[in-house]
A and B are shown apart, each in its own frame.
Chain A
Amino acid sequence: MAASRWRTPAGRLSRSAALLLGAVLVLLAMVWGAASGAYAIAPAQLPGIVWDGLRGLLGGAVQQGPEHLVFLNIRLPRLLMGVAAGAGLGLAGALMQGLFRNPLADPGLIGVSSGAALAAGITIVLGGMYLPWLPRHLGSWALVVMAFGGGLAVTAVVYVLGQVQGTTRIGLMLLAGIAINALAGAGLGFLSFISTDEQLRNLQMWLLGSLGASRWSAVGLVGSAVALNTLAALALARPLNAIALGEAQANLLGVAVEKTKRRTVLVAALAVGAVTATTGIIGFIGLVAPHWVRLIAGPDHRVVLPGSALLGAALVVSADAVARTIVKPAELPLGVLTAFIGVPLFLAMLRQFRSKV
């Protein structure tokens, strides 16, 4: 029977079926995202515009109209940034839930988002006056570079605090993460206290997240960072499967547990750091995407990791399509939307599966 090839005995989708479904969802979301926006572009025009853009890349003569510019320079980079951001956040969520062996874990736990937020706050509030070298040497990239560095730095602190005699205690790391997150929150509170009105509002907007600043150059950077980390994450699938049985068992199975933990933290921090530094905080994707993938395809990390990346991408691209159009010509901050969509769905899942959590 054809159907049984796609279903495991537990009634879940098989690995290839789940990944195929994920890829289809991403494609559908991208088509939706490409066709929607405040600027009216007839969907029938889109293939032609994309074709012209590709010819332009190869140096050919290109037709020019405002639709070309809006689509190729504003909507398309934003769409691809949505894919990269969603994939990075979904992937990191799946990695964290695997590492902590807890379905409630999200990338925020290792401090990467709050570190990025704190560094962004420092840049916004102190950048011009007290740290004048920031704009001088980093230009418009100051905020991105600082946020990325801040995210990684705070993650490193959390990781080191989770160490006992050279081994990583996951429980300890969790507590350290909570403490450091609180500290970063206090730092942000202090920064907002000393900030001017304008800085405060800039900071607030950054914390709400948006794909509005998706330049092609940023898409290239975040896209390659997420792609590399996705590849690195796939190599972690089997060791994480083993760790799901318990660290002692994983050791017996010959898995290098310490190395796996270190790499998992690093890959998740790099992916979330790259995304968050350019878009601000986009919440709940990392929490929700892996859950859904496990529900439909089971807990094997070989499907949860790539599946969460695909589902995360589809979710962010769809949420952004709504954010861009629901109050047009204005735009809703994306982080608001992902929380509005993500939290109720998450609570519904909790109710449905409360016996299993």
Chain B
Amino acid sequence: MSDILLSRRVSLQWLGGAAMASAMPAFAQNSAQVAAPARRLVSLSGALTEVVYLLNAQSLLVGTDTTSLFPEAAQKTTKVGYVRQLSAEGLLSLKPDAVVGTSDAGPPVVLDQIRQAGVRVALVKAEHNWAEVQEKVKVVGRETGRVADAEKLLAQLDTQWSSVQAQVAKAQRKPRVLFVLAHSGSPQVAGRGTAANALIQYAGCVNAIDQFDGYKPLTAEAMASAAPEVIINTTQGIEALGGEQAFWKRPELALTPAFAKKALVTLEASHLLGFGPRLPTAVQALHMRSLQWVA
């Protein structure tokens, strides 16, 4: 929402600004230059980083954001920091010719400054759907000059996706599931408009929460009335709570149907919520495992 707010840039370059801008016309031209593949690339999204590795373009990668944790090699790349608090000078110090990211990246002023410096900035809108994943593959293919490889990967992923979707469509039953994030304090559950919600629907499940948008804390009573049959969490979230046993000791959970069977499905966070090339396997895992609990 604030992206909408801030992305409609009114370029009011006045006072010193006007003079400085006019002093540097050549930089403006640079940014309009069209597309030789990047030789130095920065990725601002875990999913896009995964695609870079799948397209075997990791030698181009000079920096990634803090969510680029997969594959493991990506963790050793230079980290440009948290994706909403980028530093223009820091990014430019890596001397990239292209930056790829999602619409989460910001602040917008910093992206403007990077563009002004002649760096291509390609942003994929985060919409939590399959088209977003396809777009990510296309963008990385284009930016790294591996368009043919990207198309091949895309065809593979599409096949994988349709077979997963067919499998999901055949299911007799839609388990009621609840995505819980409980790092500390009261657990936050995923409502509408979240990546978790989109994933739940792709996996042929019903989100037990459909009354609100985003992540909200939920009381024990509301948890009970939501009546989830299966709880979904990230492996990192469960670890942070001290393991599965400790998780089920949380008082809010005792009143849910899921509690009786200790029905818990966990996946690694970037796999579960990244909306990258591993989305088909995440959806399949979520589908199969939650169905097992209600069988």
Bound Cα distance from A62 to B23, whole angstroms: 7
Closest Cβ neighbor of A60 among chain B residues: B23
Out of B4, B23, B95, which one reaches A57, CB within 8 Å? B23
Main secondary structure of the interface of A (DSSP, over half): helix
CB atoms of A329 and B81 under 8 A apart: yes
Assuming the contacts A38-B93, A72-B20, A213-B109, asked whether A142 and B5 have C-beta atoms less than 8 A apart, the reply is yes
Q: Does A12 contact B (CB under 8 A)?
A: no
Assuming the contacts A205-B84, A212-B88, asked whether A198 and B2 have C-beta atoms less than 8 A apart, the reply is yes
Bound Cα distance from A140 to B8, whole angstroms: 6
Q: Count A-B pairs with CB separation below 8 Å.
A: 179
Binary CB contact string for chain A from 205 to 222 against chain B (1 if under 8 A, 0 otherwise):
100001011011101110
Binary CB contact string for chain A from 58 to 69 against chain B (1 if under 8 A, 0 otherwise):
000010101011
Chain A residues contacting B118 (CB-CB under 8 Å) are 66, 69
25 contacts between A and B (CB under 8 A): A37-B93, A39-B90, A53-B23, A66-B95, A69-B27, A69-B116, A72-B24, A124-B5, A127-B5, A139-B8, A142-B6, A198-B104, A212-B88, A215-B13, A216-B13, A216-B15, A216-B17, A217-B12, A220-B16, A327-B81, A328-B87, A328-B90, A330-B80, A330-B86, A331-B85
Q: In residues 107-121 of chain B, which contact A (Cβ within 8 Å)? A: 107-110, 113, 116-118
Closest Cβ neighbor of B9 among chain A residues: A140
With contacts A139-B9, A140-B108, A331-B90 known, what are 10 further pairs, Cβ within 8 A?
A56-B22, A66-B95, A66-B118, A73-B24, A139-B10, A143-B6, A210-B85, A212-B86, A329-B91, A330-B79
Q: Does A141 contact B (CB under 8 A)?
A: yes
Bound Cα distance from A37 to B89, whole angstroms: 7
Chain A residues contacting B15 (CB-CB under 8 Å) are 216-217, 219-221
Q: Does A196 contact B (CB under 8 A)?
A: yes
CB atoms of B9 and A195 under 8 A apart: no
- Shortest Cβ distance from B186 into chain A, in angstroms? 12
Q: Which of A134, A199, A216 has the most CB of B within 10 A?
A: A216
Q: Does A40 contact B (CB under 8 A)?
A: yes
CB atoms of B24 and A135 under 8 A apart: no
Q: Does B73 contact A (CB under 8 A)?
A: no
Q: In residues 120-176 of chain A, which contact B (Cβ within 8 Å)? A: 123-125, 127-129, 134-135, 139-143
CB atoms of A56 and B24 under 8 A apart: yes
Bound Cα distance from A226 to B82, whole angstroms: 31
Q: Does B19 contact A (CB under 8 A)?
A: yes
Bound Cα distance from A64 to B118, whole angstroms: 12
Q: In residues 1-41 of chain B, which contact A (Cβ within 8 Å)? A: 1-10, 12-17, 19-24, 26-27
Assuming the contacts A140-B10, A141-B10, asked whether A70 and B23 have C-beta atoms less than 8 A apart, the reply is no
Q: Does B214 contact A (CB under 8 A)?
A: yes
Q: Does B215 contact A (CB under 8 A)?
A: yes
Chain A residues contacting B269 (CB-CB under 8 Å) are none
Chain B residues contacting A73 (CB-CB under 8 Å) are 20, 24, 113, 116-117
Q: Which of B79, B91, B214 has the most CB of A within 10 A?
A: B214
Q: Does A74 contact B (CB under 8 A)?
A: yes
Bound Cα distance from A254 to B152, whole angstroms: 85
Chain A residues contacting B94 (CB-CB under 8 Å) are 329
Assuming the contacts A64-B26, A70-B117, A127-B2, asked whether A329 and B63 have C-beta atoms less than 8 A apart, the reply is yes
- Shortest Cβ distance from B142 into chain A, in angstroms? 24
Q: Which of B5, B16, B84 has the most CB of A within 10 A?
A: B5
Closest Cβ neighbor of A61 among chain B residues: B23
Assuming the contacts A141-B10, A217-B14, asked whether A199 and B23 have C-beta atoms less than 8 A apart, the reply is no
Q: Does B92 contact A (CB under 8 A)?
A: yes
- Shortest Cβ distance from A36 into chain B, in angstroms? 10
Q: Does B213 contact A (CB under 8 A)?
A: yes
Residues of chain A touching chain B, judged by Cβ–Cβ distance below 8 Å, are 37-40, 53, 56-57, 62, 64, 66, 68-70, 72-75, 77, 123-125, 127-129, 134-135, 139-143, 193, 195-199, 201-202, 205, 210, 212-213, 215-217, 219-221, 324, 327-331, 333
Q: Does B243 contact A (CB under 8 A)?
A: no
Bound Cα distance from A193 to B107, whole angstroms: 22
Chain B residues contacting A143 (CB-CB under 8 Å) are 2, 5-6
- Shortest Cβ distance from A145 into chain B, in angstroms? 12
Q: Does B242 contact A (CB under 8 A)?
A: no
Assuming the contacts A329-B80, A329-B94, asked whether A38 and B89 have C-beta atoms less than 8 A apart, the reply is yes
CB atoms of B215 and A213 under 8 A apart: no
- Shortest Cβ distance from A35 into chain B, in angstroms? 13
Chain B residues contacting A62 (CB-CB under 8 Å) are 23-24
Q: Does B71 contact A (CB under 8 A)?
A: no
Bound Cα distance from A197 to B273, whole angstroms: 13
Q: Which of B7, B108, B113 has the most CB of A within 10 A?
A: B113
CB atoms of B19 and A212 under 8 A apart: no
Closest Cβ neighbor of B82 among chain A residues: A330
CB atoms of A56 and B110 under 8 A apart: no
- Shortest Cβ distance from A66 into chain B, in angstroms? 7
- Shortest Cβ distance from A52 into chain B, in angstroms? 8
CB atoms of B20 and A53 under 8 A apart: yes
